[in-house]
Amino acid sequence: MARAITNCPGMLKRLAIVAGHPVQYISPWLSGLADNTGIELKVFYLWDLGVSSAKDPGFGRPLQWDIPMLEGYAYQFIPNRASKPGNSHFFGYSNPGLASNLAAWQPDAILLMNYAFLTYVLLLLDPRFWKIPIIFRGDSHNLNRTPSLKDKISRLCRNLLFRRFSAFLVVGKANYQYYRDAGVPAFKLFTGLHAVDNARFIDAEKAVSLKAAELRKNLGIDQENLVIFVGKFVEVKRPLDLLNAYADLPTHLLRTSRIVFVGDGPLRQIIRRHAERLGLDSVLFLPFQNQSMLPAVYAAADVLVLPSQSETWGLVVNEAMNLGCPAIVTERVGCAYDLVVPGQTGWVFPPGNTGALKQCLEEALSDPERLHQIGENARRHVLKFSYDGITASLQQALQYVCHG
């Protein structure tokens, strides 16, 4: 891990992190952060999704992760009074007890993992915290924004709100441009590329080959190339685009490949019925797979497709690449500009363009040896996207706000 902060003696001792809910991509980083930075850390959560029986609106089912989410760091859940908790609307985080609990803990700095909800805005406006440096880490971008009066008003409010932050943690190129477009000066931006727990996937790989082979056997897949979609079956992820593009592949590629939709959501039956109408018997489904099973899913696959209309980053791509599975993503997926190198670690196409997606699929599936090599390239490339990098960016930001 990165070294401990030493440039703020007597100043920075306590770091409070305010986050929406425990996230499988972030919790392992928090545990390492608490162990290795020499800072007293406490996370204030605003919702218990992922560690309770709370229902995830995208998957349409209760969601509880099967890896440790709360181990290795101090945390506190602040009751959420929202009638409909979550990040689908501005009032989804309504936590009147946050400010008093946060003030009582007396942090020297605060890291926010979001800003566009009621609780966060009230915290930023609260005079009790005006003298405390606040750092922001998010993964938004402007790739899917269209000019409109609503967008202009939103941009104005965002630009004003961003003045409250002392520093920003940047996750990638599109995210960097998002902050610059909002008027944030470059000297306030500290880059630590978006990452998952690479070590967990690398460790899992040693024992995953048998699980992957068993999964392919259970799905009736022998030597065929396997295309996968992993995530929520919702409109914004455009899973039907993948199905339509796949259906247009040449007959010989349809015979030598299979496609598996992994996950759940409101479009599940629609996808299934559309596959039947297209006469595709090579389209298969797997239910939602928890974290412990995902390495086998990626190891069994030959290419991942993320055809989203908009995706802030697409950490599923990080996960897949750790198992040597390259990705096909749209231009509006945030990781397209950092993680997916066209022709080297995957392919990029315009959202909604099923003809372009078909070409990507055809190129990927026509040459299995090249596809395997691109998967190996992806495996090496994703190692640059690590928790150590995120920690280093936080350390740099903390050093900056201490001396500011």
pLDDT at 130 over 80: yes
Query: Which 3-state string (H, E, C) describes 326-393?
Result: CEEEECCEHHHHCCCCECCCEEEECCCCHHHHHHHHHHHHHCHHHHHHHHHHHHHHHHHCCHHHHHHH
Per-residue pLDDT, 89: 93
pLDDT at 37 over 60: yes
Per-residue pLDDT, 155: 84
Per-residue pLDDT, 61: 55
Sorting pLDDT into bands at 50, 70 and 90, what band is 71?
very high
Residue-wise pLDDT for 199-246, tens only, equals 988 888 778 888 899 999 999 999 999 999 999 999 999 999 999 999
Cα end-to-end distance, the chain, whole Å: 26
Per-residue pLDDT, 233: 96
Residue in 294, 335, 327 with CA at minimum distance from that of residue 311 = 335
Average pLDDT, integer, range 112-139: 96
Sorting pLDDT into bands at 50, 70 and 90, what band is 11?
low
Structure token pair of residue 371: 């596809």
Query: Which 3-state string (H, E, C) describes the chain?
Result: CCCCCCCCCCCCCEEEEEECCCCCCCHHHHHHHHHHCCCEEEEEECCCCECCCCEECCCCEECECCCCCCCCCEEEECCCCCCCCCCCCHHHCCCCCHHHHHHHHCCCEEEECCCCCHHHHHHHHCHHHCCCCEEEECCCCCCCCCCCHHHHHHHHHHHHHHCCCCEEEECCHHHHHHHHHCCCCHHHEEECCCCCCHHHHHHHHHHHHHHHHHHHHHCCCCCCEEEEEEEECCHHHCHHHHHHHHHCCCHHHHHCEEEEEEEECCCHHHHHHHHHHCCCCCEEEECCCCCCCHHHHHHHCCEEEECCCCECCCHHHHHHHHCCCCEEEECCEHHHHCCCCECCCEEEECCCCHHHHHHHHHHHHHCHHHHHHHHHHHHHHHHHCCHHHHHHHHHHHHHHHHHC
Cα–Cα distance measured from residue 239 to residue 231, given in angstroms and rounded to the nearest whole number: 9
More confident residue, 168 or 7: 168
Q: For each of the domains in the chain, give its residue range(s) and CATH number, in order of start.
A: 14-195+386-403 (3.40.50.2000), 198-384 (3.40.50.2000)
Structure token pair of residue 353: 């363009």
Per-residue pLDDT, 166: 97
Number of Cα atoms under 13 Å in the Cβ half of residue 161: 21
Residue-wise pLDDT for 14-35, tens only, equals 999 999 999 989 999 999 998 8
Average pLDDT, the chain: 91
pLDDT at 8 over 80: no
Per-residue pLDDT, 215: 92
Per-residue pLDDT, 58: 54
pLDDT at 63 over 80: no
Question: Who's near 325: CB < 8 A, 6+ residues apart?
Answer: 228, 298, 299, 301, 302, 303, 304, 375, 378
Per-residue pLDDT, 404: 56
Instruction: Check if the beta carbon of residue 46 is closer than 8 Å to that of residue 23.
Output: no
Per-residue pLDDT, 207: 81
* CA-only gyration radius of the chain, Å: 22
pLDDT at 65 over 80: no
Per-residue pLDDT, 56: 57
Instruction: Check if the beta carbon of residue 218 is closer than 8 Å to that of residue 297.
Output: no
Beta strands 189-191 and 225-232: pairing type? unpaired
Cα–Cα distance measured from residue 226 to residue 201, given in angstroms and rounded to the nearest whole number: 20
Instruction: Check if the beta carbon of residue 233 is closer than 8 Å to that of residue 261.
Output: yes
The least confident of 2-11, 119-128, 260-269, 387-396 is 2-11
Residue-wise pLDDT for 296-351, tens only, equals 999 999 999 999 999 999 999 999 999 999 999 999 999 999 999 999 999 999 99
Residue-wise pLDDT for 164-188, tens only, equals 999 999 999 999 999 999 999 999 9
More confident residue, 11 or 143: 143
pLDDT at 129 over 80: yes
Q: How many CB atoms lie within 10 A of CB 27?
A: 24
Percent of the chain with pLDDT over 90: 78
Sorting pLDDT into bands at 50, 70 and 90, what band is 88?
confident
Per-residue pLDDT, 340: 98
Per-residue pLDDT, 238: 98
Beta strands 225-232 and 257-264: pairing type? parallel
Average pLDDT, integer, range 86-91: 91
Sorting pLDDT into bands at 50, 70 and 90, what band is 1?
very low
Beta strands 55-56 and 61-62: pairing type? antiparallel
More confident residue, 37 or 141: 141
